[in-house]
Amino acid sequence: MEKERLRYLLEQYLAEIATAPELEELSQVLKAGTDSTLARDLLAEMMAKETPAFPADKERWLQLPQEIVQIDKHRAERPATSPAPVFKLFWWTAAAAVLLLIGLGGYLWMNQQDRSSLAITETNNRDSVVSTAPGEQRAVVLPDGSHVWLNAASSLRFPVAFTGSERVVELSGEAFFDVAHADRIPFRIHSGKMTTTVLGTAFNITAHPPQNNMAVAVQRGKVQVQTGDRVLAVLEKGRQIKVSPDTFYLKDVDTLSVAAWRTGRLLYKDELLEDIVADLQRTFKDSIVIQSPALKKTSLTISFDQQNGLEQALYMLCRATDSRLNKKDGIYTIE
C-alpha cells in the first residue's frame, strides 16, 4: 500500500470519521501484516506531533491498555443511533492506541462495532459531510492530509477524494484549517457568499448562518478572500478580515488568539453582544435572550474560560453592559 494512502486511513481512524469501506481496507492491511513496519513508522511521526490544544503527558502511557479496552467496550455498548462523542485526546495517545492494536494483529479492529454508524458523518459516492451539534467539536482529516477542527454547530462538506486542478470544500459555521501544501492545486473554502483560497497555511473561518458577519483570521501563511468575483483582500500572518453584506474591514490579530476556542478560551474583540450570545448558545447549548434591541448592538471586548461555565460568562457580560441576568424555565434573559 502507498504511504500516503495508509497515512490517510490511519488519520481517518484516529479522527473517528473513517467510513465502513475505509475501516475494512485498513483492517485488512493490518491483518495481513505486510505493511506493519510502514504503519509503525507513520504512527511514530504522528506521536511526534502534539495536538495544538494539549501537551503530551507521558504518564498516560501506563493507562493506555486499560483505556483502549474501555473505549472498545463503550463503542460496542453505544446504541447505533447515538452520535459519537468528541474526545479531546492527545494525538500521540491515539496513535499509541493504534500502535498497540497493530501489535495485537488487528484482532480488535475486526471485532469492534462498525463506527461509521456512530459518527456524525454522512457519506455518499462523491462527498462526505461532517457536522457538530451545539456544544461539540470535532477533528477532521481531509483526503489530502489537511486537518480541520470544527467548532460547535458547524458542518463541513468535502469530496471523498480531491481530483482535478483544485481542492474545494464547503463550510457552514466555524472551523480552523491547517491546509496541506500542494503546488498549483489551490485549496478553496466556500462559506456562504465568501470564498477563501489558500495554497498551504493555518487560519480560522467564522461564517455562521444566519449571521451577516463573516471573518477570516490567519495564523500563518497567506490566504485570499473574495465575495463572488471581487477579491477583498490577501491576508498574511496576524491579519483578519470581517465581512458584512455592505462592507468589510481589516485588522491585526494576535496569532495566539486565532481559533483560541480549540483550547477552551472564548475571546471576543469589538464584537456585538448579540453575536457573543449567539456563540455562547452554540458552545453551551442553552437558550439566551437579550430583551433590549439597543443592548444587542452593544460592542464589547471580553474573554471567558469555557471550563467556568455559561453562568459565569453571562454574569461577566451583565457587569460589562450594566444589565441583569434572570433564568426561568431553563432560559437565560439579559435585561
User: pLDDT grade, residue 44 (50/70/90)?
Assistant: low
Query: pLDDT per residue over 89-116, tens digit each?
Result: 334 344 444 443 344 333 323 333 233 3
Reading the block at residue 141, the C-alpha cell is: 482529516
Q: Which of the listed residues 199, 223, 256 is the one where a domain comes to its end?
A: 256
CA pair distance 49, 43, nearest whole angstrom = 10
Query: pLDDT per residue over 199-240, tens digit each?
Result: 768 999 999 887 778 999 999 899 999 998 899 999 999 999
pLDDT for res 65:
29
The residue that leads in pLDDT, 67 or 23, is 23
- Kindly give the residue spans of alpha helices, DSSP state H, lying in the chain: 3-14, 20-32, 36-47, 64-77, 91-103, 107-111, 273-284, 293-296, 310-321
pLDDT tops 80 at residue 133: yes
Query: pLDDT per residue over 14-41, tens digit each?
Result: 655 667 777 777 777 766 666 666 776 6
Q: What is the 8-class DSSP label of residue 54? A: -
Residue 10 and residue 79 in one domain: yes
pLDDT for res 27:
74
Residue 111 and residue 131 in one domain: no
Q: Which of the listed residues 69, 93, 119 is the one where a domain comes to its end?
A: 119
Number of domains in the chain: 3
Sign of the torsion formed by the C-alpha atoms of 275, 280, 286 and 288: negative
Q: Which of the listed residues 214, 232, 256 is the one where a domain comes to its end?
A: 256
Using a 10 angstrom Cβ sphere, with 0-12 exposed, 13-18 middle and 19 or more buried, the burial of residue 77 is: exposed
Residue 176 and residue 225 in one domain: yes
Residue 224 and residue 105 in one domain: no
CA pair distance 27, 9, nearest whole angstrom = 10
333 has which bridge partners?
A: 289, 326
Query: pLDDT per residue over 140-160, tens digit each?
Result: 889 998 999 999 999 999 998
Residue 113 and residue 128 in one domain: no
Global pTM reads 0.63
CA pair distance 240, 38, nearest whole angstrom = 40
Residue 203 and residue 241 in one domain: yes
CA angle 219, 175, 205 (to 5 degrees): 60
Residue 288 and residue 242 in one domain: no
Residue 16 and residue 97 in one domain: yes
Residue 223 and residue 293 in one domain: no
Whole domain around residue 181: which residue ranges? 124-256
User: pLDDT grade, residue 74 (50/70/90)?
Assistant: very low
pLDDT tops 90 at residue 167: yes
